[in-house]
Amino acid sequence: MENPLLHPFDTPHQSIPFSTIRPEHFIPALKENIKNALAAIDEVVHQDAPPTFENTVEAMQNVGELLERNSSILFNLNSAETSDAIQEVTQQASPLLTQFQNDVRLNQALFERIKTIYENQEKENLSVEQQTLLEKEFKGFARNGALLAEDEKHILREIDTEKAQLGLTFGENVLSDTQAFELHITEEKELKGLPDQVKEMAAETAQSKDKEGWIFTLDYPSYVPLMTYAENRSLREKMSLAFGQRGFQTNDNNNTAIILRLIELRKKRAQLLGYDSHAAFVLEERMATSEENVKNFLEDLYQKAYPAAKGEWKAMEDFAAEQLELSPLEKWDTAYVSEKLKQAQLELDEQQLKPYFPLEKVQAGVFEIAGKLYGLRFEKNDKLEGYHPEVEVYEVFNRQGDFYALLYTDFFPRPGKRNGAWMTSYRGQKKDQRPHISMVCNFSKPTASTPSLLTFQEVTTLFHEFGHALHGMLANTTYGGLSGTNVFWDFVELPSQIMENWCYEKDALELFARHYQTDEVIPMEYIQKIKKAAHFQQGLQTLRQLGFGFLDLSYHGAQATDIQDIKKHETAILDRVQFLGDYPESCSSTAFSHIFQGGYSAGYYSYKWAEVLDADAFELFLEKGIFDSETSRSFEENILSKGGTEHPMTLYKRFRGKAPDPNALLKRAGLV
């Protein structure tokens, strides 16, 4: 059979014909793609014409299109629909792709052409976007070793290859430990407190494994409800400890040595390039600019959040002791007690809300909101293939009725799919090419008797990932390297986090929050309670996020390589943000995929950073109206469509008319 990955796809919108692609197609295709890309680069480098923006920088933007497409397909499948075969291929592909990246970035002749253009750019009369691309390309070479001596370049190549493979192995280990655990229950009395839908889902999981009773797993839709509602404390303890042991057990999946090696390699690489630390290297290309600025930012939030968090924790302890006879509190009690306290204080039970949030209606609602704000229309097309039967594919059309993007949606957990939620792309946007975007979540599955009913947190997760998807779908730049989410990492969360605000607004909720049986719109009293709940335990929630930010920074600062024991180090760092004692058998770091597998190393703070931007930006929508056409068009034109074509602060000020106000976040969270 001919390898489908060797050519452009002859399908509508060049969508991916997933059913024709086999794991064994990838390596031969990638090798051929790499060979062709290097030949194309050779032509750019050895042309007779002197270097210009057009014949060098612009030409390079069109090199390796099939390579980019095919590697995107492989790595996206490895996250959302992996198998032993896909994991094996990904491990083989990783060093090939790393070597290719280094062959490009360490190509001295190519760098000399770009350097010449960079140093003489005033002669070229470049647009703002072209200037940004040129600067990004020049820095990309310089920050990836182009200025190093040959022996140092060789060291860099070795570091990058090992680093890439360690990141993959880290993720595989977390997935293996996640899937290896199941809590099998045969007595229904042990399930006291759990909602019927959760029990039904657990029964169906057991049935799918040919077992009697109920099975709970570490996938979020199974894990979170058990931790929140199960009255049986020993069950919560078993689940909590299993969750905390991912990557931290005495088995082949232990990630502690991988973390130590990764932080060593990252620091070594940064020092090779002339930086004190990996954080210094990363933050040079962020809005925050330096490790000191990030530390000050996190510390300032900590000082403001800690008093509130301390009071919230005391309220939890008192409530648990007096109302639930739980003392002292353990980590497997916190979600359970927090939910009971919220029910008591706000008279709000999450289970009362769920019937108003059937997934199908929430998805239709977010599509309608995108239509009102940005003129987008979504049409499901069953003829376009997904990579799994649960994946749906939508054609997206703009205000003028033109095709604008493909959107893949994938909402339920299954074996071979990692936990969490993310947006990714199968094809980026550039001039004359529209993007293919994917939105992946892990929500509660439908059961035999009920559709998929979302918790309010799952609703905000869907809106969050859809915000990222909008950033990809509405991208409208000339060059792919500056398109969509190709922005500073601490700016990339603004479109996602601002989107969550519509979940709390009456005019938005009434579009989609309808009871799955009666079609009744969510009552106003529930909307008011949802808004009140937005302030519930904000101190503790802020402290938790700050803890991850401090931990991330500690692994990537100048002293990172002094760390000898991951568990001891984590305990010391998190001590000031936690009110519980330590649990020797648990470790967050060994499953901290954001920083050890994903792209958030020295960047986890960006969630809080972007919250400042989003709180400040949404104030304008509140002032003008949440569906105000002028405000939404300005957000689209200045933020969503522009990608990384200009410095993010320039784009932000153009939308907002001023720099962001940090107090907007504290005000919204009720911390000031």
Q: Is residue 591 domain-resident?
A: no
Is residue 437, in this structure, part of any structural domain at all? yes
Q: What is the mean pLDDT of the chain?
A: 96
pLDDT for residue 665 is more than 90: no
Shared domain check, 516 and 397: yes
Q: Which of 487, 514, 534 is the last residue of a domain?
A: 534
What's the average model confidence in pLDDT over 267-289? 96
Write out pLDDT tens, residues 89-123.
Answer: 999 999 999 999 999 999 999 999 999 999 998 77
Residue 114 lies in a domain: yes
Alpha helices in 474-537 (DSSP H): 494-499, 506-512, 524-533
Classify residue 524: in a domain, yes or no: yes
Same domain, 392 and 530: yes
Is there a single domain that holds both residue 388 and residue 527?
A: yes
Q: Are residues 381 and 518 in the same domain?
A: yes
Peptide bond into 328 cis (omega under 30): yes
Does 446 lie in the same domain as 372? yes
Tell me, what's the pLDDT at 9? Answer: 97
Q: Distance between CA atoms of 165 and 42, rounded to whole angstroms?
A: 28
CATH code, domain with 124: 1.20.1050.40
Enumerate the active-site residues.
465
User: Is 193 found in the same domain as 143?
Assistant: no
β-pairing verdict for 436-440 and 403-410? parallel
The DSSP output letter for 62 is: T
Separation between Cα atoms, residue 160 and residue 312, nearest integer Å:
45
387 and 516 part of one domain: yes
Both 22 and 104 in a single domain? yes
Average pLDDT over residues 49-58: 96
- Nearest residue to 156 (alpha-carbon basis) of 111, 108, 99: 99
In a domain, 528, yes or no: yes
Q: Are residues 513 and 367 in the same domain?
A: yes
Mean per-residue pLDDT for 583-604?
Answer: 95
pLDDT digits (tens, 9 = 90+) for 144-164: 999 999 999 999 999 999 999
Q: CA 652, 653, 655, 661 torsion: positive or negative?
A: positive
Whether the predicted pLDDT of 672 surpasses 80: no
- DSSP for 14-78, please give it: G---GGG--HHHHHHHHHHHHHHHHHHHHHHHT-SSPP-IIIIIIHHHTTTHHHHHHHHHHHHHH
Residue 278 has pLDDT above 70, yes or no: yes
pLDDT-based confidence at 202, cuts 50/70/90? very high
Q: What is the pLDDT of residue 670?
A: 84
User: Is 316 a domain residue?
Assistant: no
In tens, the pLDDT along 385-431 reads 999 999 999 999 999 999 999 999 999 999 999 999 999 999 999 99
Greatest Cα pair distance, the chain, in angstroms, is: 83
- How far is Cα 412 from Cα 221, in angstroms, rounded to an integer? 9
489 has which bridge partners? Answer: none
Indicate which CATH number applies to the domain containing 424: 1.10.1370.40
Could you tell me which residue, 444 or 234, shows the higher pLDDT?
234
Q: Once rounded to an integer, what is the mean pLDDT over residues 531-551? A: 95
455 lies in which domain range?
355-479+501-534
The pLDDT value recorded for residue 348 is 87
**pLDDT tens for each residue of 353-370:** 999 999 999 999 999 999
pLDDT-above-90 percentage for the chain: 94
**Cβ contacts of residue 257 below 8 Å, gap of 6+?**
none
Q: What is the pLDDT of residue 262?
A: 98
Greater confidence, 599 or 436? Answer: 436
State the pLDDT at residue 283: 96
Containing H/E element for 280?
A: helix 278-283
Structure tokens at 611: 């919250």
pLDDT at 552: 98
Last residue of a domain, one of 147, 173, 200: 147
Check if the beta carbon of residue 502 is closer than 8 Å to that of residue 625. no
DSSP state of 453: B
Token output for 405: 């993007």
What's the CA gap between 503 and 501, in Å, rounded? Answer: 5
Cα dist from 269 to 105, 145, 282, 379, 605, whole Å: 14, 9, 11, 47, 22
**Domain shared by 194 and 137, yes or no:** no
Share of the chain above pLDDT 70, in %: 100
Residue 133 identity: L
Compute the distance between CA of residue 80 and CA of residue 615 in angstroms, rounded to an integer: 31
Same domain for 89 and 206?
A: no
Q: Give how many domains the chain has, as a whole number.
A: 3
pLDDT digits (tens, 9 = 90+) for 422-469: 999 999 999 999 999 999 999 989 999 999 999 999 999 999 999 999
Q: Are 427 and 516 part of one and the same domain?
A: yes
pLDDT digits (tens, 9 = 90+) for 38-48: 999 999 999 99
CA distance 551 to 549: 5
Q: Quote the pLDDT of residue 669.
A: 85
pLDDT at 667: 86
Confidence band of 1 (pLDDT split at 50, 70, 90): low
Residue 328 forms part of a structural domain: no
> In Å, how far from its chain's centre is CA 267?
24
